[in-house]
Every structure is written in structure tokens, then in C-alpha cells.
Structure 1
């Protein structure tokens, strides 16, 4: 892989090509994600400060679209990518941005002839370094708080849900229609306690809580009443 972050017009940037390669995405999908943000009518001007369109030559020497993006642009695009591998690359990019920006500041100090200007740049550099450290810590905390379930943990919860329903159906001699109602009840309960729209949107930090909940879960009175009513209808 080429350098994660490069210097362009005296600014630390990366490219849509590098992001696509690092996160194992199709380049056209990364382009589409950026296009959608830039075309957002409400804050398009803000996004345009983060992305600059450019070109590259493909393997057949044809000119193709790409984007340069600064740290903010990268954050808006990449922080939607999930998984442990994605998190690893996010943190690598953040460190690379910091390193390149530090290099730019040092070069500015070397090129400055005025002692006063050097002093001003030095203070400015120190302030920016402090801000970047705080930003990195904030980014890391955000990733920890919003990381979704890993695939193995998701499979574990799905298996636990199926087993829980199977055990209840076996113990109470319930049919397939009852099983459907139990699934609806349990899935709805998991959504309520996690705030997730679906099981695959549960956060990693909620895994233990969900496991404990499933182990202790019993169908609601309303669900059991519906099941009893279905049994009565079948007996008529």
C-alpha cells in the first residue's frame, strides 16, 4: 500500500483510492459516498472544503476520477466503516495525519527567517499538537462506544435466540405459529433494551448485557395470551 497520508498544497491529505484499498472497498463505492455528501443540499459548502476532485491513470492509462480529502473528510467517510480491521486502519490514518501535519509545521519553522515568526509558529504548532491529541483520544473513545458486534459475537447472540425459543417451545409443547410469536417478542425486547434497530446494529459493549438478558428472558403475558388464543382457534 502507498503512503496513507500525503502532502498536497502544503496540506496533509489522503485519497479515495487509498481509502478504498485500505478498507477493502470498491473505489466506485467510496466515490459514491463522497459524492452523496458533497451533493447534500444543506451543508454542501462545508463538505466541499473537505474534498477536492482529482484524476489518476488506471492500468490502461485512462484518466479516472478520484478525490483528495483532508482529515475531516476522511473522518466523515471512514468512520462509517466497522469491524476490528477497519478500526485498526482508522487509527493508522489518524496517526499518519498527525505525523504529516507535524512535518509540515517543522518545515514552516525551518523556512521562517524571523525569530518572532518562528516563535509564533512554535506556539501555534504546540497548540495544534495538543488539539490533535485531544481529537485522537476523542476519536478512539467514539470508536469504542460505537463499535458494532463482531461477526462471531453476532452469531453467538443469534444462536442463543434460536436455542432459547427452541427450549421454550419444547417445554411447553408449542407449535411453529407460537414459535413465530416468541421470536417477535424476544427480538422486540432485545431492540428495546439496546436501542438497536436490528440485532446486527447492537454495539459490542452491549454483548454481555444482551447475553444475560436472553438467558433470563421469558415471553411476555401478552405473547402467551396470543399463543393461547391461537390454540383455541385451532381447537374449534
Structure 2
């Protein structure tokens, strides 16, 4: 009887969700970054592997465990998220049925396998709870605090609400701040910051400054306002 694989490859996931494989790989690498790069934790969700393409070239991919599929599924909402959940659930159910057909008849071996499975299940639950505590996104109060801090920082850099720089450049400076924030923390949206990195987010905004070009534009706008007052 052919043995079913115990994990799902990122190639299969790409086909399931209707995305390019490189996009799925990028998503998984981002999640791994949020996991903190700890090998043991990452391996319980995503396992680095390779595959051979049509040109006989070996390329990187990931193998997703059941937990990895569940975690990846949290990035999708609506119809696509539901369809992916159904597909990976059916796939893992098929794997489990196949494994169950191979159950040993020896009572000692069966008892050992049952004990091992219970141990692995308990260990997996503990790891998952620990991961969720660290990787779930910031809550509403933390999001509000970051937005307010960002607003105060932009006002400080522009010279306040009444400045000409605020009138002309506020939208551009806000976009720059949150764009830099997303790039630094590798986020699709600025408020997707993991809860465990909230203090890092606060520190980033605290020390953030506009780049040289933007700083020159701000300075020029406020100088223009001073000239007008003198006139």
C-alpha cells in the first residue's frame, strides 16, 4: 500500500489557495520570522525541504504540518480561508485514516504507541499555547496606543498642527512613518504587529525620524511660513 505523506508541501498549499508558490514561500518565511526563528518551534509548523521542477532543478519549499496549515490559514479570511481549511482538513483526515489502518495488533506495541501519541499531543498543545501567546497580534488598546504615539511623533517632526509643513506634508510623513514601521517588522499591515513585539514597536516610533529628503521638505515648508510672517 502506498504511504501517504504526513505533511503538505507549500506547492500543494499554493495550488489550494490559488496563489504563486513564491508568494506562499514569502508568507511562510514571514511567519517564521514572527516565530522568532527558534528551530524547534518552527519545525513543529514548517519544515524546510526541496523539490525538483520540470527543468530538473532543485528548488526550496516547505512542508507544513497540520499545525502549520492551521497557522497559515489564519492569514486568510472569507471564502478563500474556508476553502483552504476544508481542503487541508480533508487531506489530514485521509492521512489519519491511512495511519489508523496500520495499527499494530500487539497489545504492548499498541500501548507504547498510544502513550507516545498522548505525550506528543500534550506537548504539541503546550507549544501551540505558548506560541499563540507570543505571536497573536496586538490588541485594540495596544493598537490605539501605537497610533496615538505615531500621531504625536508626526506632529513633533512637522512642528505641530498650525505649521505649514503639517498642512502640506502631514499625509506624506504619516505614510513614511507607517511604511518604515511595516518594512522594519516585515508586516503586511502596520497593526499586524505581534503582541510579543509591542515594546519594540513603541521604541521604533520613539526613535523614528524622517529621511533626509523628507526632513529637508519639512524644513523648507516651515521656513516658507516664517518668511510670510516677516512680510
TM-score normalised by length of structure 1: 0.49
TM-score where L is the length of structure 2 = 0.50
Structure showing greater Rg:
1
